[in-house]
Structures are given as C-alpha cells and as structure tokens.
Chain A
Amino acid sequence: MSLPEENIPPLDPDELSSRLIDVGEPPAPEESLAPQQRRRAAEIQLLHALLRQVHEVGNPESRQAAEDRIQRVMAAIRTPPSASEQARPHDGTADVSSRRRPPRAPRTRLRRWSALATAAAVLLALSLWWIEGPNVASAAVQRALDAALEVTDRLYHVTLEGGGPRPKEARLYVHGGDRFALQLRAPLGHFWIGSDGKQVWCVPPVGPVLVREDSRLLDRWLARAGAEMPFLQITTILRRMADHYELDGPLTAEPIGSNGLLCPRVHGRRRADAPFGPRTIDLWYDPKTGVAERVVLSWKDKDGNDLRPWKTLTFQREETEPLPDHFYTHAAHHGPARPVLHAPESNGDTTPEK
C-alpha cells in the first residue's frame, strides 16, 4: 500500500535512480516513493535506455547483438519442436529468466504450434494490412517504393560505370516521386538538373538556365553534362523492378553504407518480355523502414559482357539534413542575375524570362 504523500521521506528520485542505474544498488520498494517521485524515476530510467540506444548506433558489436536477438526469435519460430518439447505445459509469463540462448529453451519453441494454428487468420490480417504482391520479395520492393514516395528529403550518391574511362559520380536529392535535383561535377563548376514536380530545369555552370515542361529534355541535358543516365528517379527504378523483373529474396542481410546498417537484398532479373532496362536490379533496403539504402542496376549479361555503353549504375543513400522548400526549383541553384530561358515545346527555341 502506498504511504500518504506527506508522510513519505524526502527521497531524491534522481539520486535513487542514478544509484540503481550506475552502482547497481538494490531498488527501494516502489511503494516508498510518492507518485511524483515514481514518475521522475521512470523518466530517468527511460532516458538511461535511450542514451544506451544513441551510443550503440554505429557500434558494430552492438548492431550484431541486436541482429542476434532478432535471429534468435526467428530461429525459435522456425525450428520445429521435438515431441518431448511439445509435451511441456506453458503459460504466458512464468520463468523467463531460467531459459538461456542459444538454442532457445523448449517451451518457447512449443509456442510455434499454437501460432501456426492461427496462421490463416494472421495471413489475412497481414496481407490486408500492408503487404501487396505475391511474395515477400515483391512486398519488400513495394514497401521500398512506398518509402521512396514519402514526402521527405533523401540523398543518394550516384556512380555510373561504363560509357567512359572513369566512373561518373553525382549527388541525387529526391523528395517523393516527382521532385529531384541532380548535381554533377563539370569542368567549370557544377551542373544541376532537376524537377520541381511541374517543370524540369537545367542549371549549367555557365550560361543561361533552361526550364521546360517536357521531361524528355532531361536526356539531352544529361548528355550535355557528360552523364547519360537511363534513370534519374529511385521511384522509376522500383516501379520497373516491381512490374518487369523476376524477384528473389530477401537474401542474407549485409552491412551497407558508412554506418554498416544490416540490409536484406532483393535481386531482380529482367523478364524476357520487359520493354527495356538493365539486366538485373539489386535492392538493399532498411528492414525497419523499407527505405532503399542501395540500388545497383547492371547491364552486364550472364557472362559478364557489357550490353550497353554503361555497365552499372549505383545509388547509395547518404545522410542529409532537411532541405529548404525551394531546393527543387532552379532558383535555388543559381544567382538572381542569371538569365532563365523557358523553351517552347514545339521547336526548342528559347524565350527569355526577363
């Protein structure tokens, strides 16, 4: 029973929690704390757990331990129990700490069977919930596409191999499915090519800025920038992958990017009836969010021969801060004095904006 608040000794919950967290002193009975003190202790304990989480990010050992926890759960679900294990009684709460890993104790494995009894209902619930498509691989691609369509800023480092003696590199900023800005290095500065969702535009290092409503002009601008790329949008790639590729996966997770995030991979092989596109597309995605962390397009045939001037096109996600609203407009990438030319749709002539 809780004591009346006015009779509670003046315990300092900050000190009490710190002693418990840092020194490992046995906890005082919770009843000895007033409600306000308990609330404060709870917040400090949560902060302690969040601090551990923050400092574990980027620590390979901690990430592996987190992955091991997940693998143990899935192994316990997937491993059939023995007959003796099935005979053991179980309830929902008893004796958690008496079991050790790995392998997991029998009682947990037994639960697989009661779970399987509900598999049909679960299947329906999950498929209605957010999974589309015939299998997990296509669901993962669809999820990556949904994530790519989210209205948020993401940055990809793009590397195009082939079509020249050295790989070409670029930075691609995307914002949902219709806004992007591609930055290419050029002899006199940077080329910026992008779309604000309504118009496409090109900001060369020197000369006038070009703006047009016909997105087909992008190919010409890319050629002018010395980087003929067949795809400029992650969403376009993922849509083609979902529609025209035989998918396999998820394959074993691999550490991806500078922070070593463990990402499962889906491998896509172009169907014979697909209109065009790379021979294979590989997608590594964040298992928690579905966000495409790396996408590799390859035009090599099965013998390793190049089928196009380009060999591979790689998109590797990088961290970026939220960008200003106007970032996907041409005006964000040039000074106010630059002339802006709107090209008419019919003949490619240009009309000065001012």
Chain B
Amino acid sequence: MDTTDLFEILVREHADMLTVYLRSLVRDPALVDDLFQETMLTAWRKLDQFDRSRPFGPWLRGIAAKLVLAERRKSSSRMLLCDQQILEVIDQRLEQVTRAPGNTLDEKLDALRKCLQALPEAYHAAVCLRYQEDLSPPDIAARLAITGEAVKKRLQRARAQLLDCLERKLGVHPVTP
C-alpha cells in the first residue's frame, strides 16, 4: 500500500473545506494557494501525531490557523480580519456547515443556494456578478448602471440577508467563542 496514495484521498476529501477556510481569512488568491499547500504538507509531515479517533477536518484547520496567524504577523495587507477569536468563530461555523446534510461540501451548501434564490432580484444580480463573474464593484456598477456606492450597499445588505437565511436553514445557534 502506498501511503502517499492514501494521503491523496484525504487531501481530495478536505480540499474544498480547507480552501473555504483559507479564503475566509486571506484576501490574496496566491497566498491562499501557498497556505493550502503549506497546510497539506505540514499535515503530511505530522500525520503520525493525528489522533485518528477524531475528525480530520478540524485538525487540518488547526494547522492552517497557525500558518495564517504567522502570515498575519508579517503583513496584514493580503489578509482579511484575522485574530484568534475570528479564527475560532470561522472554525465553529464551518464545522456547523459540514454537519449539514449531503456527501460533499458542495451538497451541504444547498441551503445557501436556496437562500440566494430567495434574495431580492437587485441583490441577487449584484451577488452573481460579484461571485459568478468575479467582477469588481466598479465593473458591477457599470453593468447595472448604478453608482459604486449602491453596489457596495447591495452586496453588504445581500450578505446580511444571506447570513440570516443560512442560520434559519441550517438551524444553527449563534457562535459563542
């Protein structure tokens, strides 16, 4: 049995979850890729320290958290808000998402898809342009023929509504770190 082949299965199982975790803390996509690789390689190196009676995902996120904080100490310009409390909240919320019905992270996000469909049309359009077409707020403003400030407000309010909706759909309780 080739250990690296077995580890590859673990990497594939948790790749999406780890990417989401890192993207919730790091703004720079290149740095997300670097931290993804560093986290997986650290996990590989320390795999003998992993307690196999416990789930792999939180252990992987623990490794990622240390790397993210180290990066944050060097430079904050490529990061989102990131400190110990924020890390804990994101970790707990992500754990709640992973307990949702479904085999894959993608299936577990069906609740979020339903929330997206329930958004008012103006908010839905702004979110689609921002995430599906990866447009910046000025580009979205040009596409929708509205001001940049209006785009920011729509995105901000859309996220607030999505958060409320997701809490209801997943039946989660507020996180208390």
Contacts and interface: CB of A to CB of B under 8 A. Distances in A.
Query: Which bucket holds chain B's interface residue count?
Result: 35 or more
Interface string A18-50: 111111101110110101001101111111111
Interface in B1-36: 1-9, 11-13, 15-16, 19-25, 27, 30-31, 33-36
Scoring B24, B70, B71, B113 by chain A CB atoms within 10 A of each residue's CB, the highest score goes to B24
A114 B48 CA distance: 11
Given A39-B85, A42-B90, A44-B159, A66 B70 contact: no
B27 A20 contact: yes
A287 B9 contact: yes
A4 to B, nearest CB: 16
A284 to B, nearest CB: 14
Contacts of A288: 12-13, 15-16, 103-104
B127 A126 contact: no
B67 interface: yes
A84 interface: no
A131 B20 contact: no
A122 B48 contact: yes
Contacts of B86: 30, 38-39, 41-42, 45
B47 A122 contact: yes
B83 to A, nearest CB: 4
A94 B66 CA distance: 10
Contacts of A27: 76, 79-82
Given A21-B27, A99-B34, A101-B37, A115 B19 contact: no
B24 A15 contact: no
A14 B160 contact: yes
B109 A289 contact: no
A114 B24 contact: no
A43 B81 CA distance: 11
**Interface of A, helix, strand, loop or mixed by DSSP:** helix
A267 to B, nearest CB: 16
A47 B165 CA distance: 11
Contacts of A66: 15-16, 19
A118 B76 CA distance: 35
Nearest to A137: B5
Given A66-B15, A77-B4, A119-B3, A20 B44 contact: no
Interface string A262-301: 0000000000000000000000001111010000000000
B125 interface: no
Given A39-B177, A125-B48, A54 B5 contact: no
Interface in B23-61: 23-25, 27, 30-31, 33-38, 40-42, 44-45, 47-48, 50, 52
Interface of B: 1-9, 11-13, 15-16, 19-25, 27, 30-31, 33-38, 40-42, 44-45, 47-48, 50, 52, 66-67, 70-71, 74-83, 85-86, 89-90, 93-94, 97, 103-106, 109, 112-113, 116, 127-128, 130-132, 136-137, 151-152, 155-156, 159-160, 162-163, 166, 174-175, 177
Given A20-B27, A42-B89, 19 more contacts: A15-B156, A17-B159, A18-B159, A26-B76, A30-B81, A30-B82, A30-B85, A33-B81, A42-B175, A45-B81, A50-B97, A54-B109, A69-B36, A77-B4, A111-B44, A118-B48, A127-B1, A131-B6, A287-B9
Interface of A: 14-24, 26-28, 30-31, 33, 35, 38-39, 41-55, 57, 66, 69-70, 72-74, 76-78, 92-94, 96-97, 99-101, 104, 108, 111-112, 114-115, 118-119, 121-123, 125-129, 131, 134-136, 139, 147, 152, 250, 286-289, 291
